[in-house]
Structure 1
Amino acid sequence: MYFWVKAFHLIFVVSWFAGLFYLPRLFINITLSDEPAVKDQLNIMSRKLYRFVTPFMFLTIIFGVWMVWLNPQGYMASGWFHVKMTLVLLVVIYHFICGHYRKQLEQHTCQKSSLFFRIFNEVLVLLLFAIIILAVVKPF
């Protein structure tokens, strides 16, 4: 049972991150566009993408909690796991910040530049690297 739960956890992690990687790219294109029709279309795409990936976040969390429930001593006694959970919490916060920026862009009230969103997008890459290394290498 544990490996089935782990497989679904990983499927939803990959799906969630795929959406989170693409969302700021849409934000960059929205900020760079001068055409109202293009901005409107990109805003529709970002709204649909955000709504699409949000359930993946919840499913990732549900299956992750289920994995811990199936093997509590294996996870709760490990230092790497607590660091990983802190980073996952940062990804959840990142997800909701994306939702905030998405609304601002749709309402034309966002003051962030395309450069900001390029850097913002890279933060998620660094979080993903750290989470994967912690989960695979289990350094402490």
Structure 2
Amino acid sequence: MTERQTDARPGNRARARAFIAIALFLALLVVLFLWQPDNLYLWIKALHIIAVMSWMAALLYMPRLFIYHTDAAPGSEQSETFKMMERRLLKVIMNPAMMISWMLGLYLAWSVYGFQGGWLHAKLLFVVLLTAVHISFSRAVRAFARDENTRSARYWRLMNEAPTLLMILIVVMAVVKPF
């Protein structure tokens, strides 16, 4: 019999690979901080951008899963597959990417800007709102896991736009620094 991706072994292997990737990422950060290269700021900025891109990819994909999951009958094989996909996306990509984005972003805000600037305060507000969307999606993963989703596919289509709008505002604040 062929092993399916919804089986426990592939999930355990994916989890192990994710932990290894996070450990390597953190080891790279430690090496950079100990080594203190002249361009440490650029390394931290690059790693921050990578983490943010991973976080955004997950935030944009999760509501799509919810949209399709709302059409699956509770308890069906399809519903159980969506539950596994949502849980893995949340635990393996979304949560670690958010935590790394916050850690590196706060380090940059402190070390480079001293938490000064109206644009930085606005950006941080939008990142807090993006984190609230993340928390909302996390709660939805738990509701779907219990077969207790009360939201329609239309609601999830609208929620799919929230990360995009916040991302646009965050990028404008970080790049244009309008105030």
Q: Bigger relative contact order, structure 1 or 2, given CA contacts below 8 A and separation 6+?
A: 1
Q: How far is the alpha carbon of 1:71 from its aligned partner?
A: 1.4
- The reply to whether residue 7 of structure 1 matches residue 42 of structure 2 is no
> Residues 89 and 119 (structure 1 numbering): CA distance in 2 closer, same or farther, change over 3 Å?
same
After TM superposition, the score normalised by the length of structure 2 is 0.74
- The reply to whether residue 24 of structure 1 matches residue 63 of structure 2 is yes
Q: How far is the alpha carbon of 1:68 from its aligned partner?
A: 2.0
Paired AA for residue 83 in structure 2: N
Equivalent positions of 1:34-113 (< 5 A) are 34=73, 36-52=76-92, 53-73=94-114, 76-113=115-152
Q: In structure 1, the residue corresponding to 2:178 is in which secondary structure?
A: coil
Aligned residue for 1:129?
A: 168
Q: How far is the alpha carbon of 1:138 from its aligned partner?
A: 0.6
Q: How far is the alpha carbon of 1:34 from its aligned partner?
A: 3.4
Deviation track 1:77-130 (CA, whole Å, cap 9, x = no partner) reads: 311110010000011111111010111011111110000000011011100111
Paired AA for residue 103 in structure 2: I
Paired AA for residue 88 in structure 2: K
Q: Following the alignment from structure 2 to structure 1, what is the Cα–Cα distance between the partners of residues 168 and 71?
A: 28
Q: In structure 2, the residue corresponding to 1:71 is in which secondary structure?
A: helix
Q: How far is the alpha carbon of 1:13 from its aligned partner?
A: 0.2
Paired AA for residue 85 in structure 2: M
- Consecutive unaligned residues in structure 2, runs of 5 or more: 1-39
Q: Say whether the 8 Å CA contact 2:133–2:162 is kept in structure 1.
A: no
Aligned residue for 2:177?
A: 138
Q: Following the alignment from structure 1 to structure 2, what is the Cα–Cα distance between the partners of residues 124 and 5?
A: 23
Q: Following the alignment from structure 1 to structure 2, what is the Cα–Cα distance between the partners of residues 79 and 72?
A: 11
Q: In structure 2, the residue corresponding to 1:58 is in which secondary structure?
A: helix
Deviation track 1:14-61 (CA, whole Å, cap 9, x = no partner) reads: 001101111111000000223711011011000000001201100001
Aligned CA-pair RMSD: 1.1
